[in-house]
């Protein structure tokens, strides 16, 4: 299926959900640029794209640095001709409450998880306007709706993404630019592995932890990055042309109940 033929997509984050989205869009015909700072992940993603002969390039960029974002956007515009889709999936997940999370850690979390969305819009929206419109998909989390203890910086950033999505949707609607967010539950990603080791120690059994995390979801399992990528692709497609300003949960029913058994 080549529903994104002649579309240009930029995806931030080259591991987990970002990696899955980049590959999914490229496999459906989009020219994709994936931005990330994880050197090993960048190489692995580029090798995967080359093996499949996908129109996907990987650019090393810290997406909370204005000069690096601007440079990457310009490289994409010169190389691919413009920007139609932006998927903001880059994220960090510090642990701690407001008393044991340093201000530097808090600000880094906000810069990566929220600031990068601002920067991608600052430099990307003008290019979308030249193309007559576009779509921005922001990856948030169910923790922007309801949270656990000891994650104050992370949940602050994810709640901010929900608010920013609504604001951007209103600001850019007249430009025919749609803006939506996705809130996953537990998904098989490096960030979930970090959670397993945070709660279970450095030698935690990851598969067992993932099984236990899955039991908290009514569907009885954790999600897969490819499932989130499918939702992102739908929201970025013309099939979702009347959807903007909304958040879309993909959480196995996690937030449907009150968690009491």
pLDDT digits (tens, 9 = 90+) for 52-94: 999 999 999 999 999 999 999 999 999 999 999 999 999 999 9
Q: Are residues 214 and 179 in the same domain?
A: no
Q: Are residues 42 and 71 in the same domain?
A: yes
Residue 261 lies in a domain: no
Q: Are residues 111 and 126 in the same domain?
A: yes
Q: What is the pLDDT of residue 260?
A: 57
Q: Are residues 93 and 106 in the same domain?
A: yes
Residue 56 lies in a domain: yes
pLDDT digits (tens, 9 = 90+) for 220-239: 999 999 999 999 999 999 99
Selection from 17-26, 192-201, 252-261 with the highest mean pLDDT: 17-26
Q: Are residues 68 and 149 in the same domain?
A: yes
What is the domain extent for residue 196?
Answer: 186-222
Q: What is the pLDDT of residue 2?
A: 87
| Tokens 């600001």 belong to residue | 171
pLDDT value at 157 more than 70 = yes
Q: What angle do CA 138, 112, 149 make, to 5 degrees?
A: 85
Q: Is the Cβ–Cβ distance between 30 and 8 less than 8 Å? A: yes
Residue 121: give its domain's CATH number: 3.40.50.720
Rounded-to-integer distance, Cα 25 and Cα 17, Å: 12
Q: What is the 3-state secondary structure (H, E, C) of the chain?
A: CCCCCCCEEEEECCCHHHHHHHHHHHHCCCEEEEEECCHHHHHHHHHHHHHHCCCEEEEECCCCCHHHHHHHHHHHHHHHCCCCEEEECCCCCCCECCCCCCHHHHHHHHHHHHHHHHHHHHHHHHHHHHCCCEEEEEECCHHHCCCCCCEHHHHHHHHHHHHHHHHHHHHHHHHCEEEEEEEECCECCHHHHHHHHHHHCCCCCHHHHHHHHHHCCCCCCCECHHHHHHHHHHHHCHHHCCCCCCEEEECCCHHHCCCCC
- Number of structural domains found in the chain: 2
Q: Are residues 149 and 240 in the same domain?
A: yes
Residue 123 lies in a domain: yes
Tell me the pLDDT of the chain averaged across its residues: 96
pLDDT digits (tens, 9 = 90+) for 115-154: 999 999 999 999 999 999 999 999 999 999 999 999 999 9
Instruction: Exactly one of 4, 154, 210, 213 is catalytic; name it.
Output: 154
Band of pLDDT at residue 257, cut at 50, 70 and 90: confident
Rounded-to-integer distance, Cα 88 and Cα 85, Å: 10
What pTM, to 2 d.p., does this model score? 0.96
Residue 230 lies in a domain: yes
Those residues whose C-beta lies under 8 Å from the C-beta of residue 183, and which sit 6 or more positions away, are: 140, 141, 142, 144, 145, 158, 162, 247, 248, 249, 250, 251
Active site residue 95: no
């Amino acid at each position: 299926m080549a529903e994104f033929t002649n579309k240009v997509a930029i995806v931030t984050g080259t591991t987990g959900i970002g990696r899955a989205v980049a590959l999914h869009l490229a496999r459906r015909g989009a020219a994709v640029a994936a931005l990330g700072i994880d050197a090993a992940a960048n190489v692995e993603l580029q090798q995967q794209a080359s093996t499949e002969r996908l129109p996907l390039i990987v650019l090393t960029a810290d997406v909370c640095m204005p000069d690096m974002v601007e440079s990457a956007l310009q490289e994409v515009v010169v190389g691919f001709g413009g920007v139609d889709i932006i998927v903001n999936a880059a994220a960090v997940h510090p642990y701690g409450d407001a008393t044991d999370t340093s201000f530097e850690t808090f600000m880094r979390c906000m810069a990566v998880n929220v600031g990068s969305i601002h920067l991608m819009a600052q430099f990307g929206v003008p290019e979308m306007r030249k193309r007559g419109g576009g779509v921005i998909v922001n990856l948030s989390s169910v923790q922007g709706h309801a949270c656990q203890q000891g994650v104050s910086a992370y949940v602050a950033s994810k709640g901010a993404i929900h608010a920013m999505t609504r604001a951007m949707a209103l600001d850019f609607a007249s430009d025919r630019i749609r803006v939506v967010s996705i809130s996953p539950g537990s998904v098989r990603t490096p960030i979930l592995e970090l959670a397993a080791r945070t709660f279970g120690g450095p030698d935690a059994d990851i598969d067992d932890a993932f099984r236990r995390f899955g039991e908290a979801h009514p569907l009885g399992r954790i999600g897969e990055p490819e499932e989130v990528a499918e939702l992102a692709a739908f929201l970025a497609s013309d099939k979702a042309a009347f959807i903007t300003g909304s958040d879309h949960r993909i959480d196995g029913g996690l937030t449907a109940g009150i968690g009491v058994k």
